[in-house]
Structure 1
């Protein structure tokens, strides 16, 4: 029997990952990595992989829809994938397929950020990587020399129409980046964030809301998981990064966009958190336009994991409409 089979488990968070005492990590979920495509046969979308930063290493997959004119300008979508901060990738099959469809219908240039994952990289590294990637996109309006600019962004990106979006943990990150963009406008040059969409956002807190169970709250999976992947988080599960409506969280009136779309799924355990966030934005005094979309009978991230179903197609169409207007 191979020695590797005898590795001792240090900790595990099923169904996501297992950490062994030798420091190695085994991911138990996630779709396979797939290469980019010069032109997707179904959507006509082209994609390529780039390195945003060498130290630390931050990569991204760029998506460009089929153009109607050689110098066509399109909105820019900075997208953060889901996966509980610990699985999936900007290069994974599920997100590649999903973004091909969204980019084709929404007619945007998309930058899918491949932030570093826990548990090898504890939070807040994923947030720091994501903000650095967003700043890199925005820097195309100011301080990047011409030969260092990413050609798809430089030629086809309309920096007056920047969108931020994400699903699940990626939606959590999208909220963070949008809030920070509102505070640090001088760090994003001439880029203007017109809209953000949060699909089934991964938020939580110490006090149950709605249908959430209150049994042994501190020992719940989500609380233990958050404590593990962000051990230094001030206020634990009520840190504003995980609980943006909790005590001490900055006012949501500071959101750095003018339009916000929050989508939830009826059977998602995070559904009530998304609704609470939507209500808190409405009541914050934020001057933008916010909308809530709920899909009945569906579960978390169905538009990605059940891609191709009627409800998934309809939600992607709704997100594309948000990007088009």
Structure 2
């Protein structure tokens, strides 16, 4: 009698399991939800769009009052978290979070759906994220096809922001570094970026990070799963901005930067060190480090109704305004 049991190839518990036939079972993803026209609690409208054969996005538009309808709005290109292997722009977690942020900040948001590992190893997510950023920038050109009317009619391309949480903050950092080297369509410049609880790691523990078991750490293993062929492994510049061959942080391609950390987050000290390193690099922009006490990793996305989460979203909204 044949067995229906599939053979496990690898596991990253409690997050996912990979089978030898190539299928992936994810354990902690939140369900997909549809878009909405004027969300009942925030008034934010959302819709999905295809950017390229590999990349899509969910767009958000705040409810426009008569006084704001004539004004162009900042544009936020947002990258969700999930360690490069879970999460989605179409999930209920992302939808609730973006509705809240867009409502308060009065921005148009483009929440990017990038390809996930291990089905699509890095740097796929980075390439998708750059494709989405270039697509947004292309709306500043008159002769671009595949334009979105929300961006054309309401977007201010002198006020483009990047933002992300966890792995999404890592992506936002790397997009800002790339934008400092390469031109965006229309000569568009990124005004600012927020990095919430950024996912950075490396072979050497820093601060109070434990030395024993460092290589067995979930954060270490997640990168290895996502980018098994990474030159430099866990010290690849995209995961370790302090690596010897990492590009200078003075080249970050924006003029405003908000780095957010949480007191009980395992990634806190890397975030603080990153902010210090940017300051020491000679980068000429305006930087703020914002910490919320008593909270853990991405608390504002996981538990959006708490007072701490509201404080966090308020800070992000004021930065984008």
TM bin, normalised by shorter chain, reads: over 0.9
In structure 2, what is the equivalent of residue 274 of structure 1? 271
Structure 1 segment 13-92 matched on structure 2, within 5 A: 13-54=12-53, 57-69=54-66, 70-92=69-91
Q: Does 1:293 align with 2:290?
A: yes
The C-alpha deviation readout for 1:126-154, integer Å capped at 9, x for no partner, is 00000011011101112643x63110000
* Secondary structure at the counterpart of residue 258 of structure 2: strand
In structure 1, what is the equivalent of residue 166 of structure 2? 168
In structure 2, what is the equivalent of residue 108 of structure 1? 107
Deviation at 1:245, TM superposition (A): 1.6
- Segments of 5+ residues of structure 2 without an aligned counterpart are none
Q: Distance in 2 between the 1:188 and 1:243 partners? A: 28
Q: Distance in 1 between the 2:58 and 2:153 partners? A: 17
Q: Distance in 1 between the 2:109 and 2:271 partners? A: 24
The C-alpha deviation readout for 1:16-75, integer Å capped at 9, x for no partner, is 110111111100111110001011000000000000002xx2110000001124443100
* Secondary structure at the counterpart of residue 148 of structure 1: coil
CA contact 2:45–2:63 (8 Å) conserved in 1: yes
* Secondary structure at the counterpart of residue 215 of structure 2: helix
Query: Given the two structures, how large is their TM-score scaled by the length of structure 2?
Result: 0.96
CA contact 1:240–1:249 (8 Å) conserved in 2: yes
Deviation at 1:225, TM superposition (A): 2.7
CA contact 1:12–1:19 (8 Å) conserved in 2: yes
Q: Distance in 2 between the 1:187 and 1:290 partners? A: 23
* Secondary structure at the counterpart of residue 211 of structure 1: coil
| Higher normalized helix content (fraction of residues) | 1
* Secondary structure at the counterpart of residue 293 of structure 1: strand
In structure 2, what is the equivalent of residue 303 of structure 1? 300
- Segments of 5+ residues of structure 1 without an aligned counterpart are none
User: Structure 1 pair 281/133, CA: closer, same or farther in 2 (3 Å)?
Assistant: same
* Secondary structure at the counterpart of residue 141 of structure 1: coil
Which runs of 4 or more aligned residues in structure 1 lie more than 6 Å from their structure 2 counterparts after TM superposition? none
Q: Which stretch has the larger CA shift, 66-75 or 129-138?
A: 66-75
* Secondary structure at the counterpart of residue 71 of structure 2: coil
Q: Distance in 2 between the 1:301 and 1:2 partners? A: 44
Q: Does 1:284 align with 2:277?
A: no
Query: Given the two structures, how large is their TM-score scaled by the length of structure 1?
Result: 0.95
Q: Distance in 1 between the 2:113 and 2:146 partners? A: 20
Q: Which stretch has the larger CA shift, 13-22 or 308-317?
A: 13-22
